[in-house]
């Protein structure tokens, strides 16, 4: 087994390869099993230790044992390699093991190409703008490494190959844009092709229990983005409708997802609120829209009688749709089945809950007075709006109302609905999102999982289904300001709300930077990830090329690529002629002076042969001719990068050569 120094591979290239491979594999730590990531990290650290101590590379036995161990790790983590994650895990393990046998330049090439392939697999999990930028930087680093690998002598600094890689990237950019814009598109974006099991961030679900929404609300992940046509509604109207819960056993609430209606059965008041929603993957079927929906936004979706908008399948990839809603409306006809269903009481209704509701009914002149009395009860009885309420046992609503009085929005909404039903008023729980953060850079609202919310709807004669938010009676700032999570993590701590006045100068800078990054990410989603057949047709129409069909686009693409290739080639040839190599220019002057003495260089004659012939023809100048020729061969074909002094000496010797 040979020492590492005997392989003939420059140490700096080996270190660059190890570091670039580690950076390419780093994002997979968030996607793959911890055991797989730990094994790769072990191999990477082992290779760095071998590099630092200049040890011999492992022998065949050790590599065979590590290979079997790596395969066992993948099989133990995924029970096979047929799926997406199993295949990527096996690739990661094998690329890491390849580092232990890099002995020749061929091994360097293979490992670089495998690293490129490993980078591509990251897009199976994340196609965000930031990960694309990260992978682009790694690609520049790998191309720079390949440039350095093909140099006869090492560069004076790493800036030279990096600059060369950047130039190659800029040269390829126009061709990349042409291929991206004009290549005939599928009916859906390429990124949405499901290659394996979907990967998404779970949002609201079809069931609700104490703590479910409060747990979701502690996530800062983006649920969706919404852009309004014209002036957006006030924040108090930003209720984004999701699942509707009518059935309960007193602890768990479930949404009914059956049935469909063809049209709305209420009378809109005022202009429709038109908005575009870009919904992130949720693994659920709900299409979030501003309350109250006026139509189904996509063809393969339905509207249920309680105004849930349901897609025909789970949303496992980002989708965008046009939505129409009405924030003001008058009631329409109510189905009797809805009335009866939303009056059903679970067996957990206790005598003191029923007595509380009866007291409101006896003191009320109309049902709306009962609603006001319930909201006043929440406001006056020292209820606490908190993310960390005490644990509730068998009867959550009763314990919350009379004992703990601490809860999140689902506690207030569910207990309010049960009290309304006990008072004889049909009621149901609606879950979704409330509010949103306006991004002034992109001009749209960002709604995060932290905005998950639950409220109630009551059925009143002459008013229809009316939204009531019991949380607003306890924490009215919830409707106007985002939650500040930092001070509400301990048991029973009340929630505080964040305003612009609370932000420091550094906090404002961080917020503005977040806006810019989110706007870039949204533009990336719209123009790259969501670039499908419809987007392509829209862009071509803007460019005045909407007359092109698929064949026409293909022909135009080929012509533009050919013209670009010829143009770049002509430019490079012209530049090389305009700026010849100074060393070769001096040598050509030397050959011209020899030709004046009758020794003309032949077309197939190399510098050394020509120099020998010139020495024989001009013996008095033999020593000078030999010195100039050797210096030229060293500068042009030497194994080491020439110093500036050597090059200057060569130029002076040619300048002084005047036979």
pLDDT tens digits, 272-281: 999 999 999 8
Question: Does position 196 have pLDDT exceeding 60, yes or no?
Answer: no
Question: Does position 287 have pLDDT exceeding 50, yes or no?
Answer: yes
Number of H helices, E strands in the chain: 21, 20
What is residue 5's predicted lDDT score, i.e. its pLDDT? 44
User: Over the stretch 305-324, which tens digit does the pLDDT of each residue have?
Assistant: 999 999 999 998 888 999 99
What is residue 219's predicted lDDT score, i.e. its pLDDT? 79
Question: Does position 329 have pLDDT exceeding 90, yes or no?
Answer: no
What is residue 1's predicted lDDT score, i.e. its pLDDT? 37
What is residue 200's predicted lDDT score, i.e. its pLDDT? 44
What is residue 195's predicted lDDT score, i.e. its pLDDT? 44
What is residue 210's predicted lDDT score, i.e. its pLDDT? 80
Question: Would residue 391 be called left, alpha or beta, if left means φ above 0 and alpha means ψ between -120 and 50 degrees?
Answer: beta
Question: Does position 486 have pLDDT exceeding 80, yes or no?
Answer: no
Composition of the chain by helix, strand, coil, percent to 5: 55, 15, 35
Lowest model confidence (mean pLDDT) among 255-264, 348-357, 370-379, 454-463: 255-264
The answer to pTM > 0.75 is no
Residue 529 is classified by DSSP as I
Question: Does position 412 have pLDDT exceeding 60, yes or no?
Answer: yes
Burial of 110: CB neighbours in 10 Å, binned 0-12, 13-18, 19+: middle
What is residue 545's predicted lDDT score, i.e. its pLDDT? 80
Which of helix, strand or coil describes residue 223? Answer: strand
Which of 515, 528, 437, 446 has its CA nearest to residue 128?
A: 528
What is residue 17's predicted lDDT score, i.e. its pLDDT? 93
pLDDT band at 126 (very low <50, low <70, confident <90, very high): confident
Can you read off the two tokens belonging to residue 94? Answer: 């094998």
What is residue 279's predicted lDDT score, i.e. its pLDDT? 93
Question: Does position 389 have pLDDT exceeding 90, yes or no?
Answer: no
User: Over the stretch 147-160, which tens digit does the pLDDT of each residue have?
Assistant: 988 876 777 788 88
Residue 442 is classified by DSSP as T
Question: Does position 512 have pLDDT exceeding 50, yes or no?
Answer: yes
CA distance 253 to 250: 8
Question: Does position 493 have pLDDT exceeding 70, yes or no?
Answer: no
Question: Does position 201 have pLDDT exceeding 80, yes or no?
Answer: no
pLDDT band at 6 (very low <50, low <70, confident <90, very high): very low
What is residue 555's predicted lDDT score, i.e. its pLDDT? 85
What is residue 502's predicted lDDT score, i.e. its pLDDT? 60
Q: What percent of the chain has pLDDT over 90?
A: 44
User: Over the stretch 598-654, which tens digit does the pLDDT of each residue have?
Assistant: 999 988 889 999 999 999 999 989 999 999 999 898 888 876 666 777 888 888 988
| First vs last C-alpha separation in the chain | 57
Can you read off the two tokens belonging to residue 23? Answer: 């950076």
Question: Does position 178 have pLDDT exceeding 50, yes or no?
Answer: yes
Which of 20-29, 504-513, 629-638 is predicted most confidently?
20-29
| Contact (Cβ atoms closer than 8 angstroms) between residue 289 and residue 308 | no
Residue with tokens 């749209």: 444
| β-bridge pairing 406-407 and 384-385 | parallel
| Catalytic site positions | 409, 453, 469
Q: How far is CA 541 from the centre of its chain?
A: 29
Contacts of 522 (CB under 8 A, 6+ apart): 225, 278, 439, 442, 444
User: Over the stretch 589-598, which tens digit does the pLDDT of each residue have?
Assistant: 999 999 998 9
Mean pLDDT of the 565-580 span: 75
pLDDT band at 564 (very low <50, low <70, confident <90, very high): confident
483-489 long-range contacts, CB within 8 A, separation 24+? 483/217, 483/387, 483/450, 485/218, 485/387, 485/450, 488/386, 488/387, 488/388, 489/387, 489/388
Report which of residues 90 and 576 the model is more confident about.
90
Question: Does position 202 have pLDDT exceeding 60, yes or no?
Answer: no
What is residue 357's predicted lDDT score, i.e. its pLDDT? 95
Lowest model confidence (mean pLDDT) among 236-245, 357-366, 490-499, 549-558: 490-499
Mean pLDDT of the 376-401 span: 86
Question: Does position 367 have pLDDT exceeding 80, yes or no?
Answer: yes
Mean pLDDT of the 549-564 span: 84
Question: Does position 103 have pLDDT exceeding 90, yes or no?
Answer: no
| Contact (Cβ atoms closer than 8 angstroms) between residue 109 and residue 15 | no
HSE-CB at 546 with a 13 A cutoff on CA atoms is 9
Report which of residues 256 and 476 the model is more confident about.
256
What is residue 133's predicted lDDT score, i.e. its pLDDT? 93
CA distance 43 to 70: 10
């Amino acid at each position: 087994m040979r020492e590492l120094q005997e392989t003939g591979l420059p140490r700096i290239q080996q270190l660059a390869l190890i570091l670039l491979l580690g950076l390419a594999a780093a994002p997979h730590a968030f996607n793959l099993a911890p055991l797989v990531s730990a094994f790769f990290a072990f191999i990477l650290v082992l290779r760095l230790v071998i590099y630092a101590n200049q040890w011999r590379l492992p022998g065949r036995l050790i590599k065979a044992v590590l290979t079997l161990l790596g395969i066992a790790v993948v099989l133990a983590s995924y029970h096979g390699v047929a799926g997406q994650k199993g295949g990527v895990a096996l690739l990661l393990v094998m690329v890491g093991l390849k580092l232990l046998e890099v002995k020749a330049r061929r091994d360097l090439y293979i490992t670089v190409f495998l690293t490129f392939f490993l980078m591509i697999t990251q897009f199976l999990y994340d196609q965000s703008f930031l990960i694309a930028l990260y992978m682009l930087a790694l690609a520049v680093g790998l191309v720079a490494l390949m440039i350095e690998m093909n140099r006869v002598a090492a560069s004076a600094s790493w800036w030279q190959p990096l600059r060369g890689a950047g130039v190659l990237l800029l040269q390829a950019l126009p061709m990349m844009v042409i291929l991206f814009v004009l290549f005939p598109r599928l009916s859906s974006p390429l990124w949405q092709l499901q290659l394996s099991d979907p990967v998404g961030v779970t949002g609201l679900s079809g069931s609700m229990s104490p703590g479910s929404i409060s747990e979701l609300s502690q996530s800062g992940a983006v649920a969706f983005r919404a852009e309004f046509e014209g002036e957006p509604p006030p924040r108090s109207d930003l209720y984004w409708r999701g699942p509707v819960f009518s059935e309960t056993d007193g602890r768990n609430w479930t949404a009914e997802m059956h049935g469909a209606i063809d049209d709305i059965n209420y009378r809109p008041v005022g202009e429709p609120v038109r908005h575009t929603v870009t919904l992130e993957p949720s693994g659920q079927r709900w299409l979030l829209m501003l309350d109250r929906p006026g139509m189904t936004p996509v063809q393969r979706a339905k509207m249920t009688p309680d105004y849930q908008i349901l897609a025909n399948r789970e949303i496992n990839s980002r989708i965008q749709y046009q939505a129409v809603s009405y924030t003001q409306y008058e009631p329409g006809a109510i189905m009797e089945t809805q009335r009866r269903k939303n009056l059903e009481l679970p067996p957990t209704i206790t005598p003191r809950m029923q007595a509380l509701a009866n007291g409101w009914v006896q003191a009320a002149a109309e049902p709306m007075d009962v609603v006001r009395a319930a909201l006043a009860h929440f406001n006056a009885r020292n209820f606490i709006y908190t993310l960390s309420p005490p644990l509730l046992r068998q009867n959550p609503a009763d314990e919350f109302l009379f004992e703990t009085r601490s809860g999140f929005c689902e506690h207030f909404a569910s207990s309010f609905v049960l009290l309304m039903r006990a008072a004889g008023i049909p009621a149901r729980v609606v879950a979704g999102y409330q509010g949103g953060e306006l991004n002034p850079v992109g001009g749209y609202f960002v709604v995060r999982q932290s905005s998950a919310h639950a409220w109630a709807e009551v059925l009143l004669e002459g008013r229809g289904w009316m939204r009531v938010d019991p949380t607003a009676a306890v924490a009215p700032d919830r409707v106007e300001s985002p939650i500040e999570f930092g001070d509400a993590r301990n048991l029973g701590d009340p929630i505080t709300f964040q305003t612009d006045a609370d932000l420091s100068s550094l906090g404002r800078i961080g917020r503005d930077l977040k806006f810019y990054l989110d706007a870039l990410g949204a533009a990336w989603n719209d123009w790259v990830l969501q670039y499908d057949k419809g987007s392509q047709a829209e862009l071509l129409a803007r460019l005045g090329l909407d007359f092109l069909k698929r064949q026409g686009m293909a022909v135009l693409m080929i012509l533009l690529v050919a013209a670009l290739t010829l143009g770049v080639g002509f430019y490079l040839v012209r530049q090389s002629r305009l700026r010849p190599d100074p060393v070769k220019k001096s040598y050509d002057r030397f050959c011209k002076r020899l030709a004046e003495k009758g020794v003309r260089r032949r077309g197939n004659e190399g510098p050394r042969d020509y120099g020998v012939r010139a020495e024989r023809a001009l013996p008095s100048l033999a020593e000078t001719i030999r010195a100039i020729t050797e210096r030229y061969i060293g500068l042009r074909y030497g194994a080491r990068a020439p110093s500036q002094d050597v090059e200057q000496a060569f130029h002076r010797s040619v300048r002084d050569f005047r036979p």
